[in-house]
Structure 1
């Protein structure tokens, strides 16, 4: 059924294949819980990696679709394995929107920089995509839920803000991991496409 919808939307067979393959990876990471690494008070993730790969290799729409799968699994994870702050990730604005934008920002940064150097474009696109997730999620938590977040963890407002800033630093680890995994895969897929 999804394949018919995608094909009617003028997707090429290769794009449908990439969406299917990377969505399957996302589903496996989400369903098994392997895509979520507990680093209290949240769970950090590696589920942004298939979104970045899909966005850079096949464009922003493909990346956004895979990001949608990631966002849906964030909601499922929040419901199935709750933490004191899981209520935040039941909100689609936080769970889905930044995840859909990962592939979009990765693609456009790659496209902008790949003319100078394909490798540099892939690395920068991956880093920007990773930080789209980190800053998008944490920024929306700050804007929408900072007081509820502090109350749920029984901490002060200042401590809550500082904990979010500390999680931004975790974004550098996440971005480094994304580059280490995404770069060789994207390079290989780009060579196959030639």
Structure 2
């Protein structure tokens, strides 16, 4: 490896660290301000997934996982009295709440990078199309993971039982669709459009050299 190549490699590593740090700061900022959550009923429509997805796409799966972990940690922190829904889950099953909040978000960020990498290998045009596709896919995966873990850990609790009665749904699939409803659709749509557009801009400008353009 030549000196020039070593410098370029070091530059790329620094660039990745800087972007990850900037996105991490955005995740934290969004987590504790109204920017990140839109309260609708018991659940919240969250837009924090956007910087997580962007990191997974433009930096890689590891960065996506780190950003997902930060998002999950801030979400879990809010279960200590800052969010009524999360606080109730915490009182019922702390371990289950941690897994639901943190592990699901780590996997979402990690999968954002993996899905984009798989799509981008198809060709140059696929690298662009892969941004909104990966964004939408991860939004749907995140909702599926969150609801799956919620059902796994809290399905038989009186708290979730109250929601089942309210929604008139006693089977798992019907409950998930009714519970998420419009919230999940809005999250997926916003993440796909906004996250995909920003990721495309980054891929086309700041990271052209890294992807070999």
TM-score range, shorter chain: 0.7 to 0.9
Runs of 4+ in 1 over 6 A off after TM superposition: none
The match for 2:113 is 107
The match for 1:155 is 165
Q: Is the 8 A contact 1:135 1:168 kept in 2?
A: no
Q: How high is the TM-score relative to the length of structure 2? A: 0.77
The match for 2:35 is 34
The match for 2:176 is 164
Q: SS in structure 2 opposite 1:80? A: coil
The match for 2:67 is 66
The match for 1:6 is none
Q: Counterparts of 1:17 and 1:130 in 2: how far apart (Å)?
A: 25
Instruction: State the aligned residue count.
Output: 184
Map Cα deviations across residues 35-93 of structure 1 (whole Å, 9 max, x no partner). 12112221221111111000000111100001111101111222232325533365210
User: What's the CA shift for 1:157?
Assistant: 9.2
Q: Counterparts of 1:108 and 1:154 in 2: how far apart (Å)?
A: 35
Distance 1:60 1:154, change over 3 A: closer
Q: Of residues 100, 123, 128 in structure 1, which corresponds to 2:137?
A: 128
Relative contact order, higher structure (CA 8 A, sep 6+): 2
Q: How high is the TM-score relative to the length of structure 1? A: 0.84
Distance 1:176 1:84, change over 3 A: closer
Matches within 5 A, 1:24-103: 24-84=25-85, 86-88=87-89, 91-103=97-109
Q: Of residues 172, 188, 194 in structure 1, which corresponds to 2:201?
A: 188
Distance 1:62 1:84, change over 3 A: closer
Q: Is the 8 A contact 1:35 1:45 kept in 2?
A: yes
Distance 1:106 1:168, change over 3 A: farther
Q: Does 1:22 align with 2:28?
A: no
Give structure 2 stretches of 5+ with no counterpart: 1-11, 209-213
Larger radius of gyration: 2
Please report the RMSD computed on the Cα atoms of aligned residues, expressed in angstroms: 2.3
Distance 1:85 1:70, change over 3 A: closer
